[in-house]
């Protein structure tokens, strides 16, 4: 009897070194092909299905697989199993449900539909997006969204049936919305619960449909929903507005409205988390001599004193001028400013003269170039050419 059993690896069509994933994949294929639901009344298919299930049950269990590899089918003989049964090992409890849930989930539409209940169910969430300016994100704002939502049809009070008629209880499922298929298999009685094909899960049959909602029981309404965007919200973050989504079923609450915020770019400010960054141009004299400069922040202009001798790319921190925390608007980030020294492109003759004079005084005499140190060396000619060009550029 046991000797006539096919090799488990052969049954699943895998090699002796097959790993868990390969086993599962192989079993999934065989189980799909021979599952009794797919082959009603086919005894041969059922036998093959049981054979494959048994093979998978053994090979997917490391201990049992080791025993099988060592002793073959003899490892499981002498137990309580009958013909086509499971021999001497226990195949109940978690093992079974794991395999079943895992492998058959996709065969029969998964647990979600299987577990469809007639109790109150929350409605679907609705997603919307809203665009705000940089400043609106920093300080918060109020927005009004146009949202199309379903409501129970007022004409039929949500039943979907023509006024004066009532929906009938579905004869196929008796109003439960789901049907249970029972079958015998090697591990006992198995129940498959599926959505009732006749009523689509509602448990009711509508003979004459309501003309307003075409029997759905719902009508769509355009609604204006006010959204408070909190100060400090960042691009891509969402706000949940409870129970402003699609209606629930069987007295369940509405779903939620999820509003995703997208923040527009700002021409001068960049943001990273709670901090703001910007670049502020200053003139060379301002950098050299020091000056009070106006710096734009989200709170308006602030006066900042540039120290004498400031270098370009100097970073300045304006404490507390950043973005408020979305959790606590009393807490604010900082504003980091990069001071960049600008080189003038257009100068009056007078300004040029002043610059030349400055250069001389600073000891970098432009006019003496070529006649100074450079001229005394052999490479003087080249240098003169370069400085000459510089001079021409300033003379233009």
**What is the spatial distance between Cα 268 and Cα 297, in angstroms, rounded to a whole number?**
10
Q: Which tokens sit at 50?
A: 């049981």
Rule CB under 5 A: which of 116-155 touch Zn ion? 153, 155
Instruction: Please identify, among the stretches 16-24, 107-115, 121-129, 204-212, the one whose residues bind Zn ion according to the rule CB under 5 A.
Output: 204-212
Asked if 198 touches Zn ion (CB under 5 A), the answer is yes
Site string for Zn ion, 321-350 (x = CB under 5 A): ------------------------------
Residue 161 interacts with Zn ion (CB under 5 A)?
no
Consecutive H or E run containing 142: strand 141-152
* Residue 31 is a binding residue for Zn ion (CB under 5 A): no
206 binds Zn ion (CB under 5 A): no
Single out the residue of 212, 234, 334, 359 in contact with Zn ion (rule: CB under 5 A). 212
Of 137, 156, 293, 306, the one binding Zn ion by CB under 5 A: 156
Residue 213 vs 241, nearer CB to Zn ion: 213
Residues 274 to 313: which contact Zn ion by CB under 5 A? none
Instruction: Compute the distance between CA of residue 86 and CA of residue 96 in angstroms, rounded to an integer.
Output: 12
Identify which range of 103-111, 141-149, 189-197, 301-309 contacts Zn ion by CB under 5 A: 189-197
Residues facing residue 279 across a β-bridge? 338
Using an 8 Å Cβ cutoff, are 125 and 255 in contact?
yes
Sorted by sequence, the CB contacts under 8 Å of residue 291 that are 6+ apart come out as 282, 285, 305, 306
Q: Which stretch binds Zn ion (CB under 5 A): 77-85, 92-100, 105-113, 173-181?
A: 173-181
- Stretch of 8-16, 118-126, 164-172, 265-273 lying at the interface with Zn ion (CB under 5 A): 164-172
Kindly state whether residue 196 participates in binding Zn ion, applying the rule CB under 5 A.
yes
The reply to whether 114 sits near Zn ion by the rule CB under 5 A is no
**Contact between 170 and Zn ion per CB under 5 A:** yes
Q: How many residues bind Zn ion (CB under 5 A)?
A: 12
Cα dihedral sign for 91, 93, 97, 99?
Answer: negative
We find the least distance from the C-beta atom of residue 172 to Zn ion, in angstroms, to be 5
Specify the DSSP element, H or E, that contains 9: helix 8-12
CB 47 within 8 A of CB 84: yes
Tell me the CA distances in angstroms from 144 to 25, 224, 227, 241, one per residue in order. Answer: 51, 6, 6, 13
Cβ-based nearer residue to Zn ion, 174 or 344: 174
CA 315 – CA 283 distance, rounded (Å): 16
Residue 32 found at the interface with Zn ion (CB under 5 A): no
Instruction: Give dist(CA 278, CA 340) in Å, integer.
Output: 11
Residues near Zn ion (CB under 5 A) are 153, 155-156, 170, 172-173, 196, 198-199, 210, 212-213
């Amino acid at each position: 009897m046991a000797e006539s059993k096919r090799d488990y690896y052969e049954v699943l069509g895998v090699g002796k070194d097959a790993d868990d994933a390969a086993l599962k994949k192989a079993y999934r294929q065989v189980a799909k092909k021979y599952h009794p639901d797919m082959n009603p009344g086919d005894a041969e298919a059922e036998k093959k299905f049981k054979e494959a299930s048994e093979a998978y049950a053994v090979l997917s269990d490391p201990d049992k697989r080791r025993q099988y590899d060592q002793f073959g089918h003899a490892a499981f003989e002498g137990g309580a199993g009958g013909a086509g049964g499971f021999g001497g090992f226990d195949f109940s409890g978690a093992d079974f449900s794991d395999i079943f849930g895992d492998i058959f989930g996709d065969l029969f539409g998964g647990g979600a539909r299987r577990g469809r209940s007639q109790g109150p169910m929350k409605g679907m969430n609705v997603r919307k997006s809203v665009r705000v300016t940089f400043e609106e994100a920093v300080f918060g704002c109020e927005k009004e969204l146009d949202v199309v939502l379903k409501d129970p049809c007022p004409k039929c009070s949500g039943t979907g049936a023509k006024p004066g008629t009532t929906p009938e209880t579905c004869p196929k499922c008796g109003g439960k919305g789901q049907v249970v298929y029972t079958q015998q298999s090697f591990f006992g009685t198995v129940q498959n619960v599926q959505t009732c094909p006749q009523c689509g899960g509602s448990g009711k049959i509508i003979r004459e449909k309501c003309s307003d909602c075409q029997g759905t029981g719902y009508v769509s309404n355009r609604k204006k929903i006010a959204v408070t965007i909190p100060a400090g919200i960042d691009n891509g973050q969402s706000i949940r507005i409870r129970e402003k989504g699609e209606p629930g079923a069987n007295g369940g609450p509405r779903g939620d409205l999820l509003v995703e915020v997208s923040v527009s770019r700002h021409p001068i400010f960049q943001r990273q988390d709670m901090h703001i960054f910007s670049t502020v141009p200053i003139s060379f004299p301002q950098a050299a001599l020091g000056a009070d400069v106006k710096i734009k922040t989200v709170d308006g202009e602030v006066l900042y004193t540039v120290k004498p001798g400031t270098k370009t790319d100097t970073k300045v921190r304006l404490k507390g001028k950043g973005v408020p925390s979305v959790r606590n608007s009393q807490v604010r980030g900082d504003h980091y400013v990069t001071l960049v020294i600008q080189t003038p492109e257009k100068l009056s003759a007078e300004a040029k003269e002043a610059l030349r004079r400055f250069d001389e005084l600073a000891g970098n005499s432009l006019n003496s170039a070529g006649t100074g140190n450079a001229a005394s060396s052999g490479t003087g000619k080249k240098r003169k050419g370069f400085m000459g060009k510089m001079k021409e550029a300033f003379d233009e």
